[in-house]
Structure 1
Amino acid sequence: MISEGGLFLRGMLIGCAFCILVILLGHIKLSHEPSDPHEHHHIQAPNKEEVLKLMGMEKMELSQSMRVYCIILVRPKDLSLWSAVRTTWSKHCDKADFYSSEHVKAFDSIALNTNDMWVMIRKAIQMAYEKHKDEYNWFFINQPSTFAIIENLKYLLLKKDPSEPFYIGHTVKEGDLDYVDIAGGVVLSLESVNRFIDVMNKPDKCPETGGILWKISEDKHLAMCLKHKGVLAENAEDSEGKNIFNTKSVGTLIKDAMASDPQKVVEGCCSDIAITFSGLSPNNMQVMMYGVYRLRVYGHSFNDALVFLPPVNSDND
C-alpha cells in the first residue's frame, strides 16, 4: 500500500506539473496580440472597367514599375518538380531563385543548409531582402508543386502600393490567427518584408524554433511574426469574390464544383484571373503551361487593357 505521505507527494508533483502546463499554455496564448475584430481582410483585383479608365502612359508606368521576385523553396526530393518549374512558369518572374535545403549539383540554387521549412523561409527572405531590396518591390514565396501565373499576380497588385504592408494569398483562420496557406503561394510587399526582417531579430516575438509543446507550421509562424508588426493576412479574390490563390489543382477544383453544382462546372470552379493552382505533378505543370501560355484561338482576341512585358533578355514564353 502507498503511505499517506507518498500519496501527498504524488499529488503535489501532479499539481505542479499541471500548473507548469497552464503557465506554458498561457505564455503561448499571450504571445499573440489581442484579437482584432477587423483582422480578416479581403483584397480584390481590379475589374476591367477600372483599368480601362487609366491613361495610356499611366498603364505603361504601372506595368513597368511592378517587379516580382520569386522565391521557390525546394528540397532534393523535389528534383522533378524543380525541373518543371524551372522550364515553365518561373520564367515569367522578373527574377526567380531556387532556395534549397542543401546544395544540389543538378541545378543552380541557393543552399540554406537546413531541412526545417520555417528556418528555410526565414533565411530565404533575409537573403533575398539583403540582395534585392532595391531591385524588386514584391516578393512571391512558392513551393515547387504550385503553378503560378505571374501576369495575373501583377494584375492583382496593379494599384497596390508596395510601400504599404501587404501580405496576400489564400487565407485560413485558426482561432484568433489568420494566416496565408503557403500551398497557394505567399505574396509580401517590400514594406512587409522590411517589417519581417525587423521582427525576425526579436526572438520573443518571432522565434526561429517551433512551439514549446508542439510544432507550429511555417505559414502560421510567418503570420504570427508579421502580426506583431501590424501586418495582417489578406485573402485575394477577383471582382466576383472568387479565390484566386488556389491550394488545390484544377482537376480537384473541377471535381468539387461538379459535386456541388453540375450545371456550373467551370463557373463554380475557378476564377478567370486565377494566380495559383497547387498539388501539381511535373506533367501537370507542362499541361498548364500549354493551356495558359501556348494555346491560341485564331481570330479571337481578348484585347486586354494592360500588357505585362516579359523580363529583358529572358527566354520567356
Structure 2
Amino acid sequence: MLTEGGSFMKGMAMGGVFCLVLSLLTSFSPIPESRKEDSHHHHHVKAASKDELKRLTDSQVQEWSNQVRVYCIIMVQPKILVYWATAADTWSKHCDKAVFYTSESSKALEAVDLNEKDDWARLRKALKHAYDNAGDLQWFFVAQPTTFAIIENLKHLVLTKDPSEPFYLGHAMKSGELEYVSYDSGIVLSYEALKRLVNVFQDQDKCPERGRTLWKLSEDKQLAVCLKYTGVFAENGEDAHGKGLFNSKSIESLISESMKDNPSNVVEGCCSDMAVTFNGMSPNQMQVMMFGVYRLRPYGHDFRDLLEFYPPEGSDND
C-alpha cells in the first residue's frame, strides 16, 4: 500500500507527464494562430450584378470573356470509375483545360498517374502539376468526379476578379478557428493563391506532405491550413443577391428541403439560378443535369446574357 507521501509524488509525476504532453500538442497545433496583422473577418465574394455588367464597354466585355479561362483539376480513383467516366463525358468538357489526376493508372480512361495512395499527398502533387502546366490559364477549379460543375457560371463569378490577387473560393465552412472551403462543393484558386500554396509546400513545418501523426485533417482542411500561412483565407462564393453558388448537395435534395422549409416559394428557397456546383448525384442524374443545363431550350426565348463564354477550340462539348 502506498504511503501518503508516495501517492503525492506519484500524482505529481503523472501531472507533469500530462502537462508535457499537453504542451507538445499545443506547440504542434496544425492550425496556425492568427496574428494581429493577419486578422481576417470572413467575407463573401459576389458575382457581378447585371447593372455592373451593363456599365462595361463592349471591348471590356469581349476582353474579359476571353481572358477568364479555367484549368480543372479533377481528382479520381479507379474504384469510382463510373463517376470518372461521367465527369469526362459531361461538365469537364466545358473547362478550358481539364486534367484528371488518379491514385493509380487505369487503362479505361486517360489521367495523370500520381502513384500516390495518401489523399493529401496526392492533392499536393496534382496542384503542383497544374501550376507547372497551366500556361496562360489563371484560374483553377479543384473537384471530385462526384461534383457537377457549371463552368460558365464559375467564369461569371470570377469575371471581375484579378487572378494576380489571392482568391480561395467556394462553400466556406468553419471548424473551430479554421475557415476552409468544402472539397465536396469544389474549390476555386486564383493563380496567385496557387503560387503561394506551391511555395509553402516546400516548408514541411507549416505544410507537411503527410500531415501530423497525432491527427489527420481532411484534404480541404489541410489545404486551408497551408494557405492560411501564406495570408490566403477561405471566402464564400455568392451571386449578386447573396445566395451561395457552391452546393454540397444535389439539386433534388435542395428542392426537397425547400419544399419543406419554403413551400410558398420553392424555387427562390432552393438555390441560386447562377449556381456553380452540386454534389451527391448519381452518374445518371449527372447526365440528366447536363441535358437540362446545356441542351433543353424553350424556342423563342432569349436570355439576353451580356457575356458569352465559348468552349475551347476543337472541343466536342455540348
Q: What is aligned with 1:18?
A: 18
Q: What is aligned with 2:59?
A: 57
| Residues 30, 225 of structure 2: 8 Å contact kept | no
Deviations 1:94-149 (A, max 9, x none): 010100011111111111112222111100000111122x3210010001110000
Residue from 91, 108, 111 that aligns with 1:89: 91
Q: Matched residue of 2:142: which SS? A: strand
Q: CA deviation at 1:25?
A: 2.7
Q: Matched residue of 2:220: which SS? A: helix
Q: What is aligned with 2:107?
A: 105
| Distance in 1 separating the partners of 2:238 and 2:196 | 25
| Distance in 1 separating the partners of 2:87 and 2:16 | 53
Report the CA distance shift for 1:296/1:273 in structure 2 as closer, same or farther (over 3 A). same
| Distance in 1 separating the partners of 2:149 and 2:125 | 22
Deviations 1:188-224 (A, max 9, x none): 0000011001111011111112234221111111111
- 1:234-273 alignment, distance < 5 Å: 234-273=235-274
| Residues 238, 271 of structure 1: 8 Å contact kept | yes
Q: CA deviation at 1:18?
A: 0.9
Q: What is aligned with 1:315?
A: 316
Q: CA deviation at 1:29?
A: 4.1
| Residues 31, 205 of structure 1: 8 Å contact kept | no
Consecutive aligned runs of 4 or more in structure 1 exceeding 3 Å deviation: 1-13, 28-31, 35-38
Q: Matched residue of 1:173: which SS? A: strand
- 1:116-127 alignment, distance < 5 Å: 116-127=118-129
| Distance in 2 separating the partners of 1:259 and 1:245 | 21
- 1:202-213 alignment, distance < 5 Å: 202-213=203-214
| Distance in 2 separating the partners of 1:39 and 1:122 | 27
The answer to whether structure 1 residue 143 and structure 2 residue 123 are counterparts is no
The answer to whether structure 1 residue 295 and structure 2 residue 296 are counterparts is yes
Report the CA distance shift for 1:177/1:46 in structure 2 as closer, same or farther (over 3 A). same
| Residues 45, 238 of structure 2: 8 Å contact kept | yes
Q: What is aligned with 1:159?
A: 160
Q: What is aligned with 2:171?
A: 170
Report the CA distance shift for 1:41/1:28 in structure 2 as closer, same or farther (over 3 A). farther
Deviations 1:46-71 (A, max 9, x none): 11121122111111110101110000
Q: What is aligned with 1:74?
A: 76
Q: Matched residue of 1:72: which SS? A: strand
Q: CA deviation at 1:242?
A: 0.5
| Residues 73, 100 of structure 2: 8 Å contact kept | yes
RMSD (Å) for aligned C-alpha atoms = 1.7
Report the CA distance shift for 1:278/1:31 in structure 2 as closer, same or farther (over 3 A). closer
Q: Matched residue of 1:108: which SS? A: coil
| Distance in 1 separating the partners of 2:145 and 2:137 | 21
| Distance in 1 separating the partners of 2:21 and 2:107 | 46
| Distance in 1 separating the partners of 2:43 and 2:124 | 24
Q: CA deviation at 1:3?
A: 6.4
Q: CA deviation at 1:10?
A: 4.7
| Distance in 2 separating the partners of 1:16 and 1:213 | 20
Q: CA deviation at 1:231?
A: 0.6
Q: Matched residue of 2:153: which SS? A: helix
Deviations 1:253-274 (A, max 9, x none): 1111122111111110010100
- The count of aligned residue pairs is 316
- Percent identity between matched residues is 54
Q: What is aligned with 2:130?
A: 128
| Residues 72, 95 of structure 2: 8 Å contact kept | yes
Q: CA deviation at 1:286?
A: 0.1
Which range moves more in the overlay, 236-245 or 8-17? 8-17
Q: What is aligned with 1:215?
A: 216
| Distance in 1 separating the partners of 2:222 and 2:316 | 36
| Distance in 2 separating the partners of 1:226 and 1:208 | 14
Q: CA deviation at 1:6?
A: 6.8
Which range moves more in the overlay, 46-55 or 87-96? 46-55
| Distance in 2 separating the partners of 1:51 and 1:219 | 33
| Distance in 1 separating the partners of 2:25 and 2:43 | 28
Structure 1: segments with no counterpart, 5+ residues: none
Deviations 1:159-191 (A, max 9, x none): 000000000000001222110001000000000
Structure 2: segments with no counterpart, 5+ residues: none
| Distance in 2 separating the partners of 1:78 and 1:217 | 19
